[in-house]
Amino acid sequence: MNLELSGRNYLVIAASKGLGFSVARELLREGACVMLSSSNAARLADAAERLWAEKLENFQTTVADLRNPADIDELVRETFNAFGRIDGFLTNCGGPPAGPPLEVTDEKWQLAFDSVFMSVVRLCRLIVPSMIELGGGSVLAITSTTVKQPIENLTTSNALRPAVVGYLRYLANEVAAKNVRVNAVAPGRILTERTQELDTALAARTGQSLDEVRSRSAEEIPMKRLGDISEFPALCAFLLSPRASYITGQTFCIDGGRVQSLW
């Protein structure tokens, strides 16, 4: 399928590695122009090296901490300066602090709120009006399967990811008639550094080996394995593309069938 991304410009947040990077690379492979952003200049430089090694060159990078409103303002300004217009963007963030429900401190809640929720709101406020003016665009958010079903010890994600989807679902209604589409993807257990960190922490907390943690985790998934990162970005690129022109207000799980809800 030709996603018709040639000549289109995208901004991808939290894109130096993991899921965000995989989507930026997929968009580039499909012919789009991409601004990649993350908070760490060295990791962004490493991401750029990996893209150049694949002869993918139609991109720029900007360092921005998505918890900082001034950084987000500057990032969006730089993207408009570089590309002239933004046809779509992917919101994403580092995994929020973990912990049981009665132990997460105010400080950690605030960090998680700024990173998971406010970054999405701020990006939408800055970019969606220009999409309305242009006559269309696509917003996609990486969330988590916690929007459908809580995950043990991920209290901030269990509480704040559903808030993101609630915000986006309503935004989708408000802008649908202007041809701006708003969707979310909910990954579940796709192998990245984040999954590695969470599994290592769980192993330390419970006295299990990393292998035991992994196989228990795979047991909960109908496909009986964790996802490979190569299995994540195709749907995202499609949703960001004009080929998904009649899809809005939806949340799609990419989770090997893990979430059991019927909707």
Shortest Cβ distance from residue 171 to ligand NAP (Å)?
19
Q: Between 142 and 168, whose beta carbon lies closer to ligand NAP?
A: 142
Q: Between 75 and 175, whose beta carbon lies closer to ligand NAP?
A: 75
144 binds ligand NAP, rule: CB under 6 A: yes
CA distance 139 to 190: 22
CA distance 165 to 169: 6
- Residue in 188, 214, 244, 253 binding ligand NAP, rule: CB under 6 A: 188
35 bridge partner residues: 11, 60
- Residue in 79, 91, 138, 195 binding ligand NAP, rule: CB under 6 A: 195
Residue nearest to ligand NAP (CB): 18
Amino acid 94 reads G
- Of residues 2-41, which lie at the interface with ligand NAP (CB under 6 A)? 14-20, 38-40
Shortest Cβ distance from residue 30 to ligand NAP (Å)?
20
Q: Between 10 and 180, whose beta carbon lies closer to ligand NAP?
A: 10
Q: Between 9 and 92, whose beta carbon lies closer to ligand NAP?
A: 92
Name the one residue in this structure whose structure tokens are 């601004």: 35
- Within 10 Å of residue 199's Cβ, how many Cβ atoms? 21
Name the one residue in this structure whose structure tokens are 């609630």: 166
CA distance from start to end of the chain: 27
- Of residues 99-118, which lie at the interface with ligand NAP (CB under 6 A)? 115
Shortest Cβ distance from residue 196 to ligand NAP (Å)?
8
Contact mark string toward ligand NAP, 36..75, x via CB under 6 A: --xxx--x---------------------xxx--------
* Site residue total, ligand NAP (CB under 6 A): 29
Q: Positive or negative, the Cα torsion across 115, 162, 168, 21?
A: positive
- Residue in 92, 217, 248, 251 binding ligand NAP, rule: CB under 6 A: 92
Which spans in 176-232 are helix H? 193-206, 210-219
Task: Say whether 60 sits in a helix, a strand or coil.
Answer: strand
Amino acid 204 reads A
Question: Residue 146: CB partners within 8 Å, gap ≥ 6?
Answer: 154, 157, 158, 161, 162, 186
Structure tokens at 82: 């570089």
Are the beta carbons of 251 and 184 closer than 8 angstroms? Answer: yes
Q: Between 175 and 256, whose beta carbon lies closer to ligand NAP?
A: 256
Rule CB under 6 A: which residues touch ligand NAP?
14-20, 38-40, 43, 65-67, 92-95, 115, 142, 144, 187-190, 192-195
